[in-house]
Structure 1
Amino acid sequence: MTRGRARRRTLAAMTGFMTAQPLPARSKAFDLLLAGALCMTLGFLSIAQAGYGGVLAFAMLGPLWWRRSYPELVFFGVSAVAVLQWLVGIDLFPGNVGLLIALYTISVYGDVRYSRIALGVGGLGVLMATSRYWSNSDWRQQVTMMVALGAVVLGVWAFGERRRTRGLYVAQLEARAAQLERDRDRESKLAVSAERTRIAREIHDVVAHGLSIMIVQADGGLYAADQSPEAAKKALATIGDTGRASLTEMRKMLGLLKADEQRELDPNQPRPQPGVSSLPELIENVREAGLSVDYSVTGRPRDLPALLGLTAYRIVQEGLTNTLKHAGPGARTSVALDFGREMLTVVVTDDGRGGGVAPSTEPGHGLVGMHQRASVSGGTVSAGPKAGGGYEVIAKLPYNLPTGGQQ
């Protein structure tokens, strides 16, 4: 019982959400034209058939202008006019179609509870019409007309109910898609924030440690400068070595946005970082894994800073990894490096014939990692489907890191 109540409340809430949306001007204009056309045709036909009593047809057809804005009010108002017609004894006329249109409208746009009541009102109207307009007929004809009218009423209501259910389903899908998009944006922002926090923390440790040693050595050298020149020289040498070591370590921290999960070397020992010169070995390893890779280099190759070389290597590595995961069997991949005058351009493409490319959305991986690495080097990364099928990653990495830093 509790579950049924909860379901009804949820359905009612969703229906309220649908009907609460502002009605487009296009829909209002359509309802106005519909009501006007029905009045001009069925209204005057009703007058021709029922005389002055046919004027009631305009009271049934005119309110249809507001049928979607006020579905409950329109239905019960039209129903009241139909009851008046029954009490006065006026025969059925073409304008009675307005009652069916109002029933359909309330079943689509009205509150669920009132829609059920409207179906009951329609069933009662069938009994009233049969008892009045076919009272002198044979009982078989009465039953036939009752079944026919009941089928029409039930069919109109059921058709509207089906449209309501479909509308609710579409609204659910739209709400879910919007929520997924918000979640994706939030996860992306959290991933970028986590990477920046990690980099800031590691740089802080490196810089704080190096500066502490340098300050201590500088103070000691200052006091020993007059009495022990050798000690002062030794302090200055220590300052230089510490500064160079800290700068090297800081570059490594900027380049390593994510640590390798498995290290073949001792993690406590310094590990040489790969660069552009290591790409042939990487590509060969990927080929051995079964992926067809074309590798090309254009322009005049040059010696790159360690940070820039590492960034280019990681972007290619990430692109090839995504291709292995998502492009499907039989996909072909190309890696192209263009040494321009001011920047290195890295292009990783595949034809994605197997299943298309979908970069990882896990925080700290995929496109998030690519963008973060490129931004540290002062570059940019663009990625997305390419014309004709497949996926393309393009990274533009300037040779000189802009002053002011990226973090």
Structure 2
Amino acid sequence: MTSRATDPRNLARMTGILTARPVPARSKAFDLLLAGGMCMVLGLLGIAQEGFAGVLGFGMLVPLVWRRTHPELVFFGVSAVATLQWLVGARLMPANVGLLVALYTISVYGAVRYSRIALGVGGLGVLMATSRYWSNSDWRQQVTMMVALGALVFGVWAFGERRRTSRLYVAQLEERAAQLERDRDREAKLAVSNERTRIAREIHDVVAHGLSIMIVQADGGLYAADQSPEQAKKALATIGDTGRASLTEMRKMLGLLKQDEQLDLDPNQPRPQPGVSSLPELIDNVRDTGLTVDYQVTGEPRDLPALLGLTAYRIVQEGLTNTLKHAGPGARTSVRLDFGREMLTVAVTDDGRGGGVAPTSDPGHGLVGMRQRASISGGTVSAGPKAGGGYEVIAKLPYHLPTGGQQ
């Protein structure tokens, strides 16, 4: 089975990435010094050894200046000069080391197919050199030189291939790290977006509930202004208290929205959010509007995770808000919390006229928000008219997310 590191398509893609990278100035300076030093030493030795033919040695050394930027052209150019040396009958020179340097370079920096071709050219060069420079030797010596030169050529090429593999491995690690960083940034942006959506939903719940209570109190105070001034004052006081509380909570939410880059996305960080323990206060506020609310808790109460407690609180708040809007005067409401073995059941029911109102007639997002909240906690919400009149909202919220569930 082909691994990712040895997959030819992935190898070619990664080689292309490495080839496309700019050559650092330090590497260019090193190549310039290398080629210059070899010309000063090996090139001059070739001229001293072969005279005019030694000039060919510079043709195998000078191109090394561009060995990293154009590895294929350098290798085949140097090979062409070496072939010309063979054709004119010039002896082997110290400058022939440039062939090995060019072979190493193409195996490290060149395209994979050209590296294979370069190995074949090197093998052909071994045969040509043996046939020319050791033609008068004993066959044993010819075989020995052929094996030695072949091993040298193959060893240089294999060392270059190993360097290529190491560079590809490092490049893959860098690419993977860059991809992980991009994924992390994308997840962070998504988390910020989700957090802003959650805060916007909180604002909706706070404003809708507060305004519903204020409207009911204002209507009641208007009717009671002449007959019962004390009731009217009490209604006005409730309106003021509700408005101030809602405004304070909304300002907190808006303050979080303004902190675009400083949103605390740690789910374990405690937040000053209401929970099940805050329901009696919420229900008392609703009772002050004149709505009859029966609150019952069954089962053995337990400590709930902050998110689950907030979800239960908001579902009750939204259910009571809908009752204030649609149930009509004289309606009775029941809020029941059932702490079961596996889940918490929250039920908000009323016996008002809201059962005849189609849920889709309300353009708000209350029911949608309740279902979204419940789904985040792995639960469900059902809402609709009751048999015999009235309306009910039932939420089933498991204490723990199921294995493999949504996190």
| TM-score with structure 2 setting the length | 0.59
Which residue does 2:354 correspond to in 1?
Answer: none
Q: Corresponding residue for 2:84?
A: 84
- Indicate how the Cα distance of structure 1 residues 160 and 257 shifts in structure 2: closer, same or farther if over 3 A, else same: closer
1:178 aligns with 178
C-alpha distance in 1, partners of 2:26/2:233?
86
| 2:339 counterpart residue number | none
Aligned to 2:90, the other structure's residue is in SS state coil
The residue that corresponds to 1:7 in the other structure is: 7
Counterparts of 2:40 and 2:265 in 1: how far apart (Å)?
73
**Equivalent position amino acid for 1:192 in 2:** V
**Which SS does the other structure have where 1:137 is aligned?**
coil
Aligned pair in 2 of structure 1 residues 130, 258: CA closer, same or farther (>3 Å)?
closer
Q: CA deviation at 1:247?
A: 6.2
Per-residue Cα deviation, 1:102-148 (whole angstroms, up to 9, x for no partner): 00000000001100000000000001111111111100000000000
Query: Could you say which residue in structure 2 is the equivalent of 1:270?
Result: 278
Inter-CA distance 117–259: structure 2 relative to 1 (3 Å threshold):
closer
C-alpha distance in structure 2 between counterparts of 1:141 and 1:34, whole Å: 33
CA separation of 1:172 and 1:236: change in aligned 2, threshold 3 A: same
Question: What does residue range 53-202 of structure 1 map to in structure 2 within 5 Å?
Answer: 53-202=53-202
Please tell me whether the aligned partners of residues 199 and 257 of structure 1 are also in contact (alpha carbons under 8 angstroms): no
Alpha-carbon displacement from aligned partner over 1:184-232 (angstroms, at most 9, x marks no partner): 2332332233223212212320222112321343255346535653442
Q: 1:252 to 1:92 in 2, by over 3 A?
A: closer
Unmatched 5+ stretches in structure 1: 261-266, 273-363, 365-407
- Counterpart position of 2:23: 23
Amino acid at match of 1:270: S
Aligned to 1:380: none
In 2, the alpha carbon distance for the partners of 1:146 and 1:119 equals 15
Q: Deviations over 1:262-315 (max 9, x none)?
A: xxxxx755279xxxxxxxxxxxxxxxxxxxxxxxxxxxxxxxxxxxxxxxxxxx
CA distance in 1, matches of 2:267, 2:97: 73
Structure 1 residues 34, 42: CA separation in 2 closer, same or farther (over 3 Å shift)?
A: same
Per the alignment, residue 47 of structure 2 pairs with 47
**Amino acid paired to 2:40:** M
Residue identity opposite 1:239 in structure 2: I
Give the direction of change, closer, same or farther, for the CA distance of 1:183–1:67 in structure 2 (3 Å limit): same
2:28 & 2:237 partners in 1: Cα distance? 84
Q: Contact (CA 8 Å) 2:104, 2:159: kept in 1 or not?
A: yes
What number of residue pairs does the alignment pair up?
Answer: 269
Partner of residue 326, structure 1: none
C-alpha distance in structure 1 between counterparts of 2:201 and 2:219, whole Å = 27
Retained in 2: the 8 A contact 1:119–1:157? yes
**Does the CA-based 8 Å contact 1:56-1:85 persist in structure 2?**
yes
CA distance in 1, matches of 2:129, 2:225: 116
In the TM superposition, what is the alpha-carbon distance from 1:244 to its structure 2 partner? 6.0
Q: Which deviations, in whole Å up to 9, do the C-alpha atoms of 1:345-390 show, x marking residues without a partner?
A: xxxxxxxxxxxxxxxxxxx9xxxxxxxxxxxxxxxxxxxxxxxxxx
User: Kindly tell me: are residues 135 and 197 of structure 1, through their superposed partners in 2, closer, same or farther at Cα, counting changes over 3 Å?
Assistant: same
Asked which structure has the greater CA Rg, the reply is 2
Structure 2 gaps, min length 5:
257-263, 269-274, 281-375, 377-407
Q: Percent identity?
A: 80
CA contact (8 A) 1:39 1:61 kept: yes
Are the aligned partners of 1:107 and 1:160 in contact in 2 as well (CA < 8 Å)?
A: yes
- TM-score, normalised to structure 1, is 0.59
